[in-house]
Structure 1
Amino acid sequence: MSQIRSSASSSSSSNFQSVLNAALDAYEKKTKNKLLTHPLAAQFQSCDSPTAILSALEDIIQQFDRRCRSDERLTNWLNPTINVLHTFSSTLGQGIGLAFSPANAIFSGIGVLLLAAKDVDASQDVLIDIFVRIESFFKRLESYTEVRPTAAMTDVIVKIMIEVLSILAIATKLIKQNRSKKFLKKLLGKKDIEDALKRLDTLTTEEARMAIAETLNVTHRVDDKVDKVDDKVDKVDDKVDKVDDAVNRVDNTVNRVDNKVDNVDDKIDKVDDRVDKVDNTVNRVEDKLTVLFDANEQEKLQNWLSPPDPSTNHNIARKAHHKGTASWFFRGGIFKQWKSSPLLWIHGKPLG
């Protein structure tokens, strides 16, 4: 399948390129200008945005006779036309890989036409009429800046762009051949241009019919997909019913578990009551132990704070005394002198 698509894409690219080459050759015969090698072609090829293309074309418009104030209508049509062409050109480049896009050819053709008419009196009005007619066709392409067209639609749209290039070539040729004001006013009535405009009308009508047909096809495809979605929804409903049954069975099981849990809760409550009774008994025992502990501690404190028995210390001191100890003091004259005085002062230091 991928090989078939690749082959079809290659064939389509080759066909578009040959059609474009034929249009460029026809343009060269009419205008004596080869767009592929024209300086404007290289300039537009390097433009990476509609703004850059618009700026390049406005520079050419500024080259009109400075004595005549440029008509804003000459630039008003450019912006929407350039946006549509640039966007669709990018789509074409990705889809069929043209070496030189029809959009760039049209930009170059517009530039060449502006240069050919810049020194011609009353050329602005004529150009405005041509460009306004062309713009109305490109408005049909605007919807494809958001949605990629089918291969058949792309074929028609490329033909529309090439027909526009043909109109630019005819207008350029006629302006170069006859620069009189009277001739220019009748330019749009010339058979060549009118025939090209009719072909353009036919192509846009064909494109509109194809767009309607594609819309119907898309609608039918959507209907088919909706039907398939309905079938899938029905299957999902069946599965949901089965899930509901399973959930009900789970609910019953959960209810039985709840009953068992309630029984366990009752038993736990009874255990809690017994634990409370044990706690109360333990608390009473703790109270009694606290009383006993407090009485014991009080007795210890009283014993520690009570004065020692003097007889005990006296007896200990007496037992530790050796006969004859300090006899030199008691027999000495100093002690006797102290005893003879009505007052006795004792002064000393520990261990002194």
Structure 2
Amino acid sequence: MSQLELMFKDALGKYNQQTKKDLENEPFVADLKNCKTAGDVMKILREPANKLIDRQEKDKEKSGLMRLLDRIVDVLHALHLNETLGEGIGTVWGPGKAVIGAVVVLLETARNVREGYKMLMELLEDVSSFIVRLEVYSKNTISSEMREILVKLLGKVMSIVGLATEQIREGRWSKLPMSYSTAVAHRHPERYMKTLLGDSAVEDAFKKLNRLTSVETQMASTESLKLLHDLVSRLDLHMQGVQPPLTEIQKNLDSLNVSIGLTLDLADIKKDVSEMNRNDMVRDCREWLSSPDPSTNHNAALNSHHEGTAVWFIEGEMMQEWKIVGSLLWVCGKPGSGKTILCSAIIEALLCNCLMLNHVVVYFYCDFRDPAKQDIDGLLSRLLVDMSAESTECTKILWDFYSTHRNGSRRASNTELTQCFEKMLRASSHRSVYIVIDALDECPDSGNKPPRDRILTLIHDLLGLGLSNVHICVTSRPEAGIAEVLVHLQSQTIAIDGDVGQTDDIDSYVRSSVYGDIKFRSWSEELKALVFKVLSEKADGMFRWVSCQLETLRLCPPSRVKRTLETLPKTLDETYDRILDRIRGTEAEHDLLRIFQCLANSK
């Protein structure tokens, strides 16, 4: 028996021990043995997948699961590793098919667990993020050393799937070892993949692998394969509750840096002038488009985050399904309900996943205070600039667009901007693209061709492209004109001001303010408890209302707190009226009037 065959037998044995399943004797093995194409393999996976979907009542999410399975099967089949072990076990049950067999068992196990579907999708997304990086090795001649590492790597993937199968069956999924969890993770367990980030070596490894497996580079090196194996091994150990060392990852990362440094130096010599000047190209296009900067809104929202804010949504089922399946997510809520704060949390979560999964995230904050952030020109120009930074191909698309407009001496129309963006989306079909638009209701809905209607039309047209890799999230007030369009597009919709998760977030915010703010430190425990009770009960899903009342109470002596609580304004509008009433008759009244006049007449 060859060394590779012994290695593979050992991986199978460990899997059988983990799952109490004899993988080689499962009923589907005979059919899997005879599979010649990726389509044949998918036929075998389709039956347990359909049973899982039917049992969990997830029929509308079927396409997302199948898309993940397709992605995994296509790469494993293209690697041709089922023939690498020679005669004997390799011709019957090679590494690629073994991983697929382990996935079949996982599908069957998840079917009978209440939250099995969510846990399954999380794992498959994580596993596929590693496997898709192997595609480059199916397009190049690989050495015997590479082949050995690939077999080891798939053995680790099989172990990860086996551990997940065991944990799902026993109800232990995502419960991190106490010594490695943060306080937030204790309350809201996160996926294992997220726990890998935070170490600079691991993050550098993901960044390097994203570069090497990109469309532009397509490098298949032994060093990058070793690094990928180390990352998979680290995930495997972490799932077992073992804190793995970073030594091997750092060593192989250093070797990889030397290797690709030499290779890319040679490649750079062959690049044409436009490639060499990519940064200049992007800068010229940015200046031409004059796009507004949404990061100012994003950072302001992040600075307003309370610890643990929106975790209920980020880790919730709707968000997870939208990331994989849904094409449109509409988050609506009344004024002051915290939509922008939630939006910033969504963006941050997506940006975190980008590093691991090599996704693209572009975002825009509509803003009634900034005219440039109230129409489709500002939105599209920003999306184009951000997309162009994601790949050389998108940079070239934007540069060609710039050139056809006399090198930026002629402005582009809305239609032309849209067509350019659609071209970028099609060019990025190998990666998931997330487009997040906050506060759509802050765009004007009056005049000839209102800006709000133009953006709604854009969303409609982008979804009409039928690109499965494009996911759009929109937040706004639940205004009739917006609802009419977005609901018609069969969006996933959540009204956050009525969700129990939002209520819990508000309770946490009030508790933290009342018991942690220095202004309330001298108050009695009875008084603090009363403030918490009243504000939590009357918040009605409005963060902003609570924040305003806390500001009032900070200026209130303890002797007047109970009276103040008894006469609280019922709505946000009434709260603003009272704030203005306090200004009347003061020196600030004239200044405030002038400010309002300037705002009313601004264009």
Q: Structure 1-normalised TM-score?
A: 0.50
Q: Name the one with the larger strand percent.
A: 2
Higher-Rg member (1/2): 1
Bigger relative contact order, structure 1 or 2, given CA contacts below 8 A and separation 6+? 1
